[in-house]
Structure 1
Amino acid sequence: MASAEDANGKVNLLEDNRIDSGVESFQYFTKDDPYNKPVQDSTSESSEARDKCSSNTEERLDSAYGSSSLTVENFSEILIEGCNISESEDDSAKNTELEHKENLLTNITEDGDTLLHLAIIHEDEHFAHQLIQLFPKDVLDIQNNLYQTPLHLATYLNLSSVVRDLVESGASLELQDQEGNTPLHMACEQGWVECATEMIRNVSSSKLAPVLESQNWRGLTSLHLATVNRQHRLMKLLMKKGADLNIQEGTSGKTPLHMAVELHDIVSMTLLLNKGADVDVPMFNGCTPLHLAVGRQDAAIANLLCQSGADKMLRNIEDETALDLAGGNDDIIALFPFDDIQIQGRSVVRVPF
């Protein structure tokens, strides 16, 4: 027999206790915490800024991210005191200021965050845009202790303009966080259409292909996540960009069509089938979408698959056809022709007289 999950029609796409994008593990710090130290500078001119960074300020909870004691106001002060390049004619003064700016911008906190990570966490888009222009490409792709790049964070927080600026400046779309998610995975899981659009609008097919095929540690591609989360606009966007409609996730071999069947999502099924998804792709256990629909006693879904040309006689590794899983459901049995004699769902070819 097929697995209990398929036979009983239970949907078990994702674990209930999953952690979305690993973002919950940021820590909160007090004014005395050494977390403030990475933005320190040895010059006496920055002592006032350090005092301000260490002062008691209201902690912010930005989209489940904890934050350091740096605030948006501190960012502006840092930019003014450490990042602006003066028009002084003194070359040595210019060199000193440039060195100060470089040290400040490339410093990393004990959580692995650059100043750009922190600006995005605090949703200070203006400051983030300024930092993106100042940072070289390699710095844009620095991953923190959770393997999150600035592009991961901007996507999670739905900062589409920051996403656009990062991508245009050369930030990588392929880097994966501690859950194996690329920024595109995160956009599809959260339903951020604008962020996904900004990521892939001007990317060539050859460069985009590995991003679309990338699987997170649960074996899911971006199209799987868009399907699981019923993000139909994102599904259309990914299909338009050439996503493989028949790609199998890495744990059980489900295609997006299998997942849409399990969700009883006729809209997703119609999108996939109209774009040419293979209706008969088997999972690793040999079950086709029709096996899943019949096993879940879903006559409407089974009928749609049959109308789309599903092979009713394919067998899974338990040697079962979809009809073997009908369980006496008359509505489903009516979908299967009885031109031949059927014994326990198996055809016996008639001998002509």
Structure 2
Amino acid sequence: MSEEWNQKKLSLQPEEGRYDSGIADSVQSLGDDGVSRLHSLLEEGDGKHHGVRSQVPVTVEDKLPEIYELERIDSTYGSSSLIESISASCVSQSTPTERPALQEVRKLDPQQLDALIYVSEDGDTLLHLAIIHSMPDIALYFTSLVTKDILDIQNDLYQTALHLAVYLDQRRVVEALVFKGANGELQDRKGDTALHVACDNQHLECARIVLQGLRGQLNMHLQNWNGLSCIHVATLKRDRALISLLLESGADINDQEGTSGKTPLHLAVEIADCSLVTELLSYRPCVNATMYNGCTPLHLAVGRKDAALARLLCQAGADTLIRNREGDTPHDLAEGNNQLLALLPFDDLKISGQPVVTSA
């Protein structure tokens, strides 16, 4: 892990006598205005917002039974209440230096404690809501109080706090969650991890924080429900910086997506991006990798009558005589197209796609 990342992590650790990563002295220190903000947050909490939850009008009267119901049950914890989970986690997992956070929880008055253990009808905790409504101070303080299993609670859309913080590009919150050990492999209802979300929204710095902070803990082959790993998502977004970051972090340039077996090179050819194909070829992928139907990237380029892409692939050593499941070679697919046929001379004397040159 880089020295820069270690320094960032150290900056998130509580100072002596402080338990909020330097953001707030305590929930109590929020005062009347802070409590008012918390209640305002809870009143606005349900529904989608910023593309994550939409606004649904909610009255204070509608919310009161939920805010003051101490035994709210969260699906992640079965029959245990959230407050029991918080207390048990802090007692069993905290180190001596972390236990003051539990003392902070016990010092909260009923109104503040109710806010802390609140779970909305959409499954959102206070942490989810603080992130959705761009209240990083509250999000960071909540993160400093609880253990990782609380941070990993998924709402009704199976989003964790890390999913939402990455989606909304809240880098300080992402750093705090990653430092606290949030699970980076939990998948939302689309099968996306937080890293998938970073790639899909092209949030390079959030992706960097997740990859550096959870180095060695992420399965870089993990696919969403569309069969795409993060390297496929970054390729489809044509984001060269993300592709480079992912490959440096252990992603496989020859990773096959789950629906048809396309590699990133296949995808780049499929979206007809010559510059992206050139970029991917610089990482020395298997230029003759086959999809489940036996097609190579060259099959796709020729099938699309794209001479420029075919030329790039041939220059990189693509085999013109590999047959797909239907028995067709790229040369067969080029029949009738003189421009393509000029790139794909028929030669039976080839080994691994390269012509055999005999001396006189």
- Structure 2 distance, partners of 1:25, 1:218, is 22
Matched, 1:195 2:212: no
TM-superposition CA deviations, 1:298-325 (whole Å, max 9, x none): 1111111111111110011100001121
Instruction: Report the CA distance shift for 1:275/1:100 in structure 2 as closer, same or farther (over 3 A).
Output: same
Q: How does 1:31-50 map to 2 (within 5 A)?
A: 31=59, 34-35=62-63, 37-40=65-68
Instruction: Report the CA distance shift for 1:259/1:36 in structure 2 as closer, same or farther (over 3 A).
Output: farther
Instruction: Report the CA distance shift for 1:200/1:24 in structure 2 as closer, same or farther (over 3 A).
Output: closer
**2:262 counterpart letter in structure 1:** K
**2:282 counterpart letter in structure 1:** N
| Alignment check: 8 A CA contact 2:178 2:213 kept | no
**1:273 counterpart letter in structure 2:** L
| Alignment check: 8 A CA contact 1:249 1:255 kept | yes
Match of 1:216 in 2: 224
- Structure 2 distance, partners of 1:299, 1:26, is 47
TM-score computed with the length of structure 1 as normaliser: 0.71
Instruction: Report the CA distance shift for 1:32/1:325 in structure 2 as closer, same or farther (over 3 A).
Output: same
Q: How does 1:266-345 map to 2 (within 5 A)?
A: 266-339=274-347
Compute the displacement of 1:264 (Å).
1.5
Matched, 1:130 2:126: no
- Tell me the SS of whatever aligns to 1:331: helix
Compute the displacement of 1:34 (Å).
3.0
TM-superposition CA deviations, 1:34-84 (whole Å, max 9, x none): 345433378xxxxxxxxxxxxxxxxxxxxxxxxxxxxxxxxxxxxxxxxxx
Compute the displacement of 1:93 (Å).
11
Equivalent residue in structure 1 for 2:235, among 222, 227, 233: 227
Compute the displacement of 1:158 (Å).
1.1
TM-superposition CA deviations, 1:125-171 (whole Å, max 9, x none): 22211211122211110000000001111111111121111101111
Structure 2: segments with no counterpart, 5+ residues: 1-49, 71-102, 350-360
Equivalent residue in structure 1 for 2:58, among 30, 51, 58: 30
Equivalent residue in structure 2 for 1:247, among 255, 258, 280: 255
Structure showing greater relative contact order (alpha-carbon pairs closer than 8 Å, 6 or more residues apart): 1
- Tell me the SS of whatever aligns to 2:320: coil
| Alignment check: 8 A CA contact 1:35 1:110 kept | no
| Alignment check: 8 A CA contact 1:291 1:325 kept | yes
Structure 1 consecutive aligned stretches of length 4 or more whose deviation exceeds 4 Å: 22-27, 92-96, 98-103
**1:272 counterpart letter in structure 2:** L
- Structure 2 distance, partners of 1:126, 1:96, is 19
Structure 1: segments with no counterpart, 5+ residues: 1-21, 43-91, 342-353
Instruction: Report the CA distance shift for 1:164/1:267 in structure 2 as closer, same or farther (over 3 A).
Output: farther
Instruction: Report the CA distance shift for 1:339/1:199 in structure 2 as closer, same or farther (over 3 A).
Output: closer
Compute the displacement of 1:232 (Å).
1.0
Instruction: Report the CA distance shift for 1:102/1:34 in structure 2 as closer, same or farther (over 3 A).
Output: same
- Tell me the SS of whatever aligns to 2:108: helix
- Structure 2 distance, partners of 1:171, 1:243, is 21
| Alignment check: 8 A CA contact 2:195 2:230 kept | yes
Identity %: 48
Equivalent residue in structure 2 for 1:152, among 163, 176, 189: 163
| Alignment check: 8 A CA contact 2:229 2:257 kept | yes
Equivalent residue in structure 2 for 1:142, among 147, 153, 158: 153
| Alignment check: 8 A CA contact 2:322 2:330 kept | yes
| Alignment check: 8 A CA contact 1:35 1:109 kept | no
Instruction: Report the CA distance shift for 1:333/1:106 in structure 2 as closer, same or farther (over 3 A).
Output: same
Match of 1:81 in 2: none
- Structure 1 distance, partners of 2:296, 2:105, is 68
**1:323 counterpart letter in structure 2:** H
- Structure 1 distance, partners of 2:64, 2:131, is 17
Q: How does 1:103-118 map to 2 (within 5 A)?
A: 103-118=114-129
Match of 1:171 in 2: 182
Compute the displacement of 1:340 (Å).
5.3
Compute the displacement of 1:204 (Å).
3.0
TM-score computed with the length of structure 2 as normaliser: 0.69
**2:56 counterpart letter in structure 1:** Y
Match of 1:80 in 2: none
